[in-house]
Amino acid sequence: MSDPSSSSSSSNAAESIAKAAREAFEQSQLVDVSERDLALKAIREVLEGKKDEVLKANKEDMEAAETLLSQGKLSKSLVSRLDLSKPGKFEAMLQGITDVASLPVPTGQVTFAKELGPGLDLHRVTCPVGVLLVIFEARPEVVVNIAALAIKSGNAAILKGGKESLKTSTILSSLIAEALNKTSIPSTFIQSVSTRSEISSLLAQDRYIDLVMPRGGNELVKNIQNNTRIPVMGHADGICAVYVDESAVEEKALRVVVESKIDYMAACNSAETLLIHESLLNTLWPKLASELISNNVCLRCDQSTLSSIKDLPETSKYVTASTEDDYYTEFLGPTLAVKVVSSVNEAIKHINLHSSHHTDSIITENENSMLNWCKGLDSANCFINSSTRFADGQRYGLGTEVGISTGKTHARGPVGLDGLVIYKYMLRSKNDKGSTISDYEKGGNKYTHRDLVKSDPPF
């Protein structure tokens, strides 16, 4: 937005895009849901036929990225994630479309059904949220994943991918539009934008856009929350903890703590904090510390956990005193903040205050500790004797996920198709004179509020 005129032109462009998305959404609502799977099939076929063109665009993105990598401006892992030409990756992307098509349709489900009075039936039926704005990282295949999820759930979507994958995502988007053109779903049902200034203009379109889903860092999410009236679903941080309770079994603690920390350190569901029950300071804790150190994990310890491992080999290299800030930090690397606690309730209190309410695991054999953990912990995913890395839509069997929500409204934890729907109430009068409240509140009718069979649809 360096040029003031571009700000106003991107604002006009944003309004056109958002309005077109809304019109496409509304039009699509009158189309039979079976058309959604036909659209997914058409997209798969078009992409399959244009594989060479997609890979050619991806090669250009890769070349630009490798130049930036050599200049130290991009990380190796990001460049690797850009690459669609890795064996099997393109096919996995296509298979993802078919997998989404085979999931149950999340809309049109009756979740509440009551007869209000004779001949007056109320149904609460799931429906799409409307128009989604999804902002995501570099991986270009996410364009196709999100498009598939949006179409299956009946939501129109505006997508903005990482700038490093621009050429790839541009061609993928135009092939999706080409495919939709052959179907009953409007081609503007899925649109892409490519610049940050378009995003900031789109955030003002609360009249047309219903939900923003940023998948990215803390800064991106907070910036979006501060700049829009549109509801935002996403997660800012992934500060996850493992708590080793008094009754923990050693092997469970070792396996779960080590995997939660080291399996994939950049993931949001990796552990950043370890809490140790005080009774384990001189027994299980030193073994755990050795195992972590042998996996090159740096430990930032409070006084108690520090002093009980000071005689271990290599502590001078791997162990330092922690600060309060460490317990609020998402390290995303080989560092773990460690602290002693005297009870499960103290662990819960620490986590509720410091964590990002994402995923926390307890290692315990005590039923009461488990129960308190699940009741008291204010986190989306409360785990028992299980690695925090299980917090994932695919591992949960949701089929696929749009993202993980650490918010506490609408959807929480891994968000699948269920998280992309809301509901509407349908009230139908079958009475000869129609129905008015005065029939009930001034006339002789009585509200029955009788439950109806949910499997009987309103039409």
Which of the residues 83 through 122 are near its own copies (CB under 8 A)?
114, 116, 120, 122
In the complex, least distance from residue 372 CB atom to its own copies, rounded to whole angstroms: 6
CB of 433 to its own copies, least distance (A): 5
Helix residue ranges, H only, 280-338? 284-294, 303-307, 315-318
Of the pair 50, 357, the CB lying nearest its own copies is at 357
- Tokens describing residue 153: 């759930």
Interface stretch with its own copies, choices 167-175, 183-191, 272-280, 380-388 (CB under 8 A): 380-388
With CB under 8 A as the contact rule, the residue among 168, 308, 322, 386 that binds its own copies is: 386
Report the site for its own copies in 249-288 (rule: CB under 8 A): 249, 251-253, 255-256, 259, 263
What is the distance between the alpha carbons of residues 208 and 296, in angstroms, rounded to a whole number? 50
Quote the CA–CA distance of 253 and 244 in Å, as a whole number.
7
Compute the distance between CA of residue 196 and CA of residue 194 in angstroms, rounded to an integer: 7
Nearest to 231 by CA among 411, 357, 106, 444: 411
410: left (phi over 0), alpha (psi -120 to 50) or beta: left
In terms of CB distance, is 303 or 448 closer to its own copies?
Answer: 448
Q: Is residue 70 part of the contact set for its own copies (CB under 8 A)?
A: no
Give the range of 78-86, 185-193, 306-314, 371-379 binding its own copies by CB under 8 A. Answer: 371-379
Question: Applying CB under 8 A, does 433 fall inside the site for its own copies?
Answer: yes
254/259 Cα distance (integer angstroms): 8
Of 413-432, binders to its own copies (CB under 8 A) are: 413-414, 422-432
Which CB atom, from 56 or from 349, has the smaller least distance to its own copies? 349
Q: Which is nearer to its own copies, 51 or 222 (CB)?
A: 222
Three-state helix/strand/coil letters over 59-86 = HHHHHHHHHHHHCCCCCHHHHHHHCCCC
Indicate the residue type of 163: K
| Site for its own copies contains 211 (CB under 8 A) | yes
Token couple for 357: 């309410």
Region of 201 on the Ramachandran plot (φ > 0 left; ψ -120 to 50 alpha; else beta): alpha
Residue 87: count of CB within 10 angstroms of its CB: 7
Q: Is 350 a binder of its own copies (CB under 8 A)?
A: no
Q: Which is nearer to its own copies, 74 or 411 (CB)?
A: 411
Crossing angle between the packed helical segments 89-102 and 141-153, to the nearest 10 degrees: 10
**Segment lying near its own copies (by CB under 8 A), choices 56-64, 182-190, 323-331, 381-389:** 381-389
Is there binding between residue 390 and its own copies (CB under 8 A)? Answer: yes
CB closer to its own copies, 175 vs 398: 398
**What mask, x for binding its own copies by CB under 8 A, covers residues 10 to 49?**
---------------xx--xx-------------------
Of 266, 282, 275, nearest in space to 299 by CA: 275
* Residue among 150, 157, 233, 274 that touches its own copies (CB under 8 A): 233
Number of residues near its own copies (by CB under 8 A): 86
380 binds its own copies (CB under 8 A): yes
Q: Which of 205, 379, 400, 445 binds its own copies (CB under 8 A)?
A: 379
CB closer to its own copies, 56 vs 255:
255
DSSP code string of 127-195? EE--EEEEE--S-THHHHHHHHHHHHHT-EEEEE--GGGHHHHHHHHHHHHHHHTTSSS-GGGEEE---
